[in-house]
Amino acid sequence: MKNVTMKAGSIFLAALCMASVFTGCGNKEVEDIVTGIASEVNEQDKKDRHDKRDDEIFAERVTAESMAEREDIQAMPVDVQAEPVETGDAIPVETEESRIQLMDIYEIGTYENETLTWIVIDVKDGKALLLSEKVIDLVPYNTEKTEVTWETCSLRKWLNEDLYYGSFTDEERQMIVKTTVNNKDLPDEGCNYGSDTEDYLYVLSYREMLDTAADCDEYAKPSYTQIALEHHNNVRVSYWRRDPGMMGDGTVALKTLGTMEFDGRVQYFCDDVDSPWNGVRPAMWVDINMLANN
């Protein structure tokens, strides 16, 4: 700014001198004009220096404030959360549990020289619930017609002793998980349900069939082993459930599940506990890792 002012003053002074030549102004008048211009240039120079200093002070202040803000920002705790990374479709990792599918069928054990087949009807907590695909044989719920519960019936003993030790190898038995069988939550029929039990094999209640992950309508209708058909003259039979009930004459009975021959629909019956005409279709929980490698 100072250089511009001085240059302008010099040009103006030269112009005045030329004017004095053509207009006949005296030296005194020119001197006064020059003195005035010099004074103005001086004042302008002071003002320019003052403005420049103000600009420098302002710039220093801005720089200092900017540095302070930057230090404050750096000192502030920052909650950094990782953003999800787009990696395309995830590749599913196969696990033992993912290899077990509802309604899969596995061969485990034998009965009367026939391989036993089992349907997966539920999977949870590292275990799979298997139900015998077939009615294995005709076995009474209890050998005597008396008031009985699952806890005290002879069928429970037959399943957990005769069938468990007679139909499965040592390796297969290691796969079967002893399970707490809940008998207290059976539907109220005014009957004695007995205590909960610890079993390797048992028969399902109607409520348990409804609560399985697999649709019970898909597995409720059974097939039959050859020995079961032979023991009932090749006529389809119903199979025991764990639900207690009462017969029309007030005697203790057990609910069964079966099919009517004329239409094939699943039907529900009530029969004497010592009836020899009902079959057994056991269930068991097994270790899912051992099942997957079976």
**DSSP codes, 114-181:** EEEEEEEEEEETTEEEEEESEE-EE--S-SSSS---TTT-HHHHIIIIIIHHHHS-HHHHHHEEPEEE
**pLDDT greater than 80 at residue 30:** no
Is residue 258 very low, low, confident or very high in pLDDT (cuts 50, 70, 90)? low
| Burial class for 171, CB neighbours closer than 10 Å (0-12, 13-18, 19+) | exposed
Quote the pLDDT of residue 148: 86
- Backbone torsions φ then ψ of 52, nearest 5 degrees: -65, -40
**pLDDT greater than 60 at residue 264:** no
Is residue 154 very low, low, confident or very high in pLDDT (cuts 50, 70, 90)? very high
Is residue 89 very low, low, confident or very high in pLDDT (cuts 50, 70, 90)? very low
**DSSP codes, 5-47:** HHHHHHHHHHHHHHHHHHHT--HHHHHHHHHHHHHHHHHHHHH
Which single residue is written with the structure tokens 């909960």? 196
Tokens for 152, please give them.
Answer: 């005290």
- Backbone torsions φ then ψ of 274, nearest 5 degrees: -100, 10
Tokens for 33, please give them.
Answer: 């004009």
Contact 243, 206 (CB under 8 A): yes
What integer is the mean pLDDT of 77-97?
Answer: 46
Higher pLDDT among residues 226 and 264, named by residue? 226
pLDDT in tens, 116-142: 999 999 999 999 999 999 999 999 999
Contact 150, 197 (CB under 8 A): yes
Average pLDDT, the chain: 75
Quote the pLDDT of residue 186: 65
**pLDDT greater than 80 at residue 203:** yes
- Collapsing DSSP to helix, strand or coil, 198 comes out as strand
**pLDDT greater than 80 at residue 86:** no
Quote the pLDDT of residue 36: 64
Tokens for 26, please give them.
Answer: 């005296």
Is residue 15 very low, low, confident or very high in pLDDT (cuts 50, 70, 90)? very low
**pLDDT greater than 80 at residue 70:** no
